[in-house]
Amino acid sequence: MIQVDTIRVGYGEKLILEDLSVTIPAGRITTIIGPNGCGKSTLLKAIARVLQVQNGAVYLDGKAIHQTASKEIAKKLAILPQTADAPAGLTVKELVMYGRFPHQSFFGKMSSEDQDMVDWALEATNLQPFTGRPIEALSGGQRQRVWIAMALAQDTDILVLDEPTTYLDMAHQLDVLELLKQLNLAEQKTIVMVLHDVNHASRFSHFLIAMRDGNIITEGKVSEVMTDRHLREIFDIRPYFTQCPISGNPICLSYEKCSKRSESTENYMYCKII
């Protein structure tokens, strides 16, 4: 379990999150949603220890992560940043092998266990045909799977992903999200991610955290967060809902923009279920 306890996080003198607290359930898929600039990625980076907290703490299994050795954290939590670049000429297998670094000895020699984990990660992400291919020769969706494979090779209980579907077409977005869903089901991985598409968040998540202006507006099960009132308050829109035929969760069929901020929290019964 990840517990965020009254953290304060910012960039220089600019404060983004102040006294924010939330709990990420273990063994589930949790997605953070909200408008651009609301603090989603900042919260994710604080959880993954990419950003230092100015106050408060983030706890992993009861231990403050900012006071725990980096290598120990890397054995429990893997992060996939929003933009990731590999050195030119690096092959798929070579990049995935980097995921074993936290488990290697001082001399950095790959063990048979390391090799087995790399092979498993490549198999889980359907990358066996591309193992010797340079990263730059792959499509966007294939590259994203390579980065996920590297995180899998790290063999952690927790995967943290910042907008893993960005710049991917519809089919490749589904490929990545279905893979994460399967990893959660088959391997009981705890997955925490940021998504812009609220319908993807609804379909593939167990829990949602909805943010605006550095604050958590609401959190909970998908059906509790995906409501007219909450989407109005978060995005300033009038949503029209229907039920996803695949997950059974509510999805936003269409929407209109509220002309004034006050409309976001008033007269929300205007929004109807299709």
CA 168 to chain centre: 15
Give 110-147 pLDDT, tens digit per residue. 788 889 999 999 998 889 999 999 998 988 888 888 98
- Sign of the Cα torsion 77, 78, 82, 83 reads positive
Indicate if the pLDDT at residue 38 is higher than 80: yes
Least trusted range by pLDDT, from 24-28, 77-81, 190-194: 77-81
Phi-psi region of 240 (alpha: psi -120 to 50; beta: other; left: phi over 0): beta
pLDDT of residue 106: 56
Cα–Cα distance measured from residue 157 to residue 61, given in angstroms and rounded to the nearest whole number: 11
Cα–Cα distance measured from residue 159 to residue 191, given in angstroms and rounded to the nearest whole number: 5
Average pLDDT over residues 167-189: 89
With pLDDT > 70 as the criterion, what percentage of the chain qualifies? Answer: 92
Reduce the DSSP state of residue 68 to 3 states and report it. Answer: coil
Give 196-253 pLDDT, tens digit per residue. 999 999 999 999 999 999 999 999 999 999 999 999 999 999 999 999 999 999 999 9
Domain annotation for the chain: domains and CATH numbers: 1-76+156-225 (3.40.50.300), 86-155 (no CATH), 236-274 (no CATH)
What is the average pLDDT value for the chain, to the nearest integer? 88
Reduce the DSSP state of residue 65 to 3 states and report it. Answer: helix
pLDDT of residue 81: 80
Give 11-28 pLDDT, tens digit per residue. 888 899 999 999 999 999
Q: At what angle do helices 170-187 and 140-153 cross, to 10 degrees?
A: 20
pLDDT of residue 261: 55
pLDDT of residue 274: 41
pLDDT of residue 220: 96
Tokens at 58, concatenated: 């983030």
For 57-63, which contacts have Cβ atoms below 8 Å and span 24 or more sequence positions? 57/5, 57/7, 58/2, 58/3, 58/4, 58/5, 58/7, 59/2, 59/3, 59/4, 59/5, 60/1, 60/2, 60/158, 61/1
* Residue 227: count of CB within 10 angstroms of its CB: 16
- Burial letters for 205-223: b for 16+ Cβ neighbours within 10 Å, e otherwise? bebbbbbbebebbbbeebe
Vertex 102: Cα angle to 89 and 53 (nearest 5):
100
Average pLDDT over residues 29-56: 94
